[in-house]
Structure 1
Amino acid sequence: MRLLVIEDHRNLVANLFDYFEARGHIVDAAPDGVTGLHLATTQRYDAIVLDWMLPRMDGPEVLRRLREGQAIQGPGSQVPVIMLTARDELPDKIAGFRAGADDYLTKPFELPELEVRLSALQARIRGHRRNPVLEVEDLRMDLATLEVTRAGQPLHLYPACRKLLEVLMQASPAAVTRERLEYALWGDEPPDGDMLRSHIYELRRSVDGPFPVKLIQTLPRIGYRLVAPGPAPAAHG
């Protein structure tokens, strides 16, 4: 499952990352409503965890714009949203549901309960639509189960490598800049050093290493792309 957490409390976000990534999920985070809305409308997510009180734009307004606006999933995104807030009065809950929330969880809460609620929403959604699957040549990624295979063989990827692969597959055959890949992993705070190169190296070992056809291409001074190489040009002269 790919989750977007729109929450400004860093400790809570860190706990959510640790909990869900340890279970094989991909997690993106936004520290304010404007950034969260941008990610929610330009990226594909299986579910969104949305705080009520946010800098720059509050949770209900983010949700209203998401439901009414244009998103990668189509006009008026129907991605499941759980509102996460300390507001526990009935009028607040009603306001959250009227804004378009699918569920409402009050703070403090237990992480297993959030996981169960997300799983229940996913099960309901899967009953209404097919699981989205990305495919490039013989490489396949199921965005619902996070299973990755190539030529029918399962690939075991670290969460960071899986996130990079998803971005590359969604963009294929177009190039993806280093800046975009770094943002996908670390947001606005990339680590010192060239950690991206290390993750790409590990991704190549899994995706290309055991196979004769190499799909991940390096574009010097630009970034990377995922595409099957074309036929060799005919010799001249």
Structure 2
Amino acid sequence: MPLPALRILVIEDNRLLRDNLQALFAAHGFHSEFAADGRSGLQSALAAPPDVLVLDLGLPGMDGLQVCQQLRADADRHIPILMLTARDALDDRLRGFRSGADDYLVKPFAGEELVARCIALSQRHRAGQTHVLRIGSLHIDRRSHSVHRDGQLLELHQTSHDILLALAEAWPRTLTRSELVQRLWGDAPPDSDPLRTHLYLLRQALDKPFATQMLKTVHGVGFRLESDEAPTS
């Protein structure tokens, strides 16, 4: 079974370890982003929530415990956090869990164990979610890959389906163009404007047959979905 294409954010101040982790994750088909200090890493995690956050405990300025606590307070969703540290005392691990960490790995560690833990965390996070995403009359079944709107089955090209799924999982947040391109093609996007044709095809299937437009362009920012049902009072 192929590995999931995870987006992993690593907050780690050791440059050599960052380089090693980048090579490790790339070898497994993961997309990884890096921050060298707690404050910039926290901003990155809040702006574009990763599938898994690998968080060093001993960071300059804002340490890993503070980052973890602030992320749990400010994030609009649960981001799985794996704490990565040289501290192996029980008290340190307990403090990490109390701060909101989901898992803990002590340095030095085996790369394959880190990869396995990241996959397990991402799947655990999704385990409590229903496999059907519902936004107004739009229903996206992540298990069967079928999409219905107002009870009608939508015929979608695979890339259009992937765009719609990304927007639905981010809803009601707006996804930037760069986030969508990265989600779909990683670091090797097609030439020219890779989204134009696929967004056009998605609009033809998702919006053209219906009275209300769900796929919205946020000019200068990106794209988002808007429910086609009026909010209940």
TM-score interval (norm. to shorter): 0.5 to 0.7
Report the counterpart of residue 75 of structure 2 in structure 1: 71
What pairs up with 1:144-163 in 2 under 5 angstroms?
A: 156-157=158-159
Paired-residue identity, %: 29
Deviation larger for 203-212 or 113-122: 203-212
Which of 23, 30, 47 matches 2:35?
30
- 1:14 pairs with 2:22: yes
Q: Is the 8 A contact 2:81 2:102 kept in 1?
A: yes
* 1-structure distance, mates of 2:68, 2:129: 22
Residue identity in the other structure for 2:40: T
| Per-residue Cα deviation, 1:99-154 (whole angstroms, up to 9, x for no partner) | 33221112333333223223333444445443584769869485xx8x96665657
Is 2:208 the partner of 1:200? Answer: no
- Please tell me the residue identity of whatever aligns with 1:111: G
Q: CA RMSD in A?
A: 4.7
Cα offsets for 1:67-118 (capped at 9, x unmatched):
3x23212xxxx43211112333444334323333221112333333223223
Q: Does the aligned pair in 2 maintain the 1:97–1:103 contact within 8 Å?
A: yes
Q: With the length of structure 1 as denominator, give the TM-score of the two structures.
A: 0.57
**Cα gap change, 1:7/1:218 in structure 2, threshold over 3 Å: closer, same or farther?**
same
Structure 1 gap segments, 5+ residues each: 229-237
SS of the residue corresponding to residue 199 of structure 1 reads: coil
One-letter identity of the residue aligned with 2:74: Q
Q: State the match for 1:181 in structure 2.
A: 177
Q: Which residue of 1 aligns with 2:130?
A: 130
Asked whether 1:56 is paired with 2:61, we answer: yes
Identify the residue that residue 82 of structure 2 maps to in structure 1: 82
TM-score (norm 2): 0.58
CA contact (8 A) 2:156 2:202 kept: no
Amino acid at match of 1:71: A
In structure 2, list runs of 5 or more residues that go unmatched.
1-5, 148-152, 227-233
What is the distance in 2 between the residues matched to 1:163 and 1:110? 35
Q: How many residues align?
A: 205
C-alpha contact 1:149 1:155 (8 A) present in aligned 2? no
Note if contact 1:6-1:33 (Cα within 8 Å) is conserved in structure 2: yes
Letter in 1 for 2:121: L
Shift of the 211–65 alpha-carbon distance from structure 1 to 2, 3 Å rule, reads closer
Alignment-derived partner of residue 106 in structure 1: 106
Counterpart among 6, 10, 19 of residue 5 in structure 1: 10
Question: Contact 2:131/2:141 (CA < 8 Å) preserved in 1?
Answer: no
CA distance in 2, matches of 1:107, 1:205: 48
Structure 2 equivalent of residue 47 of structure 1: 52
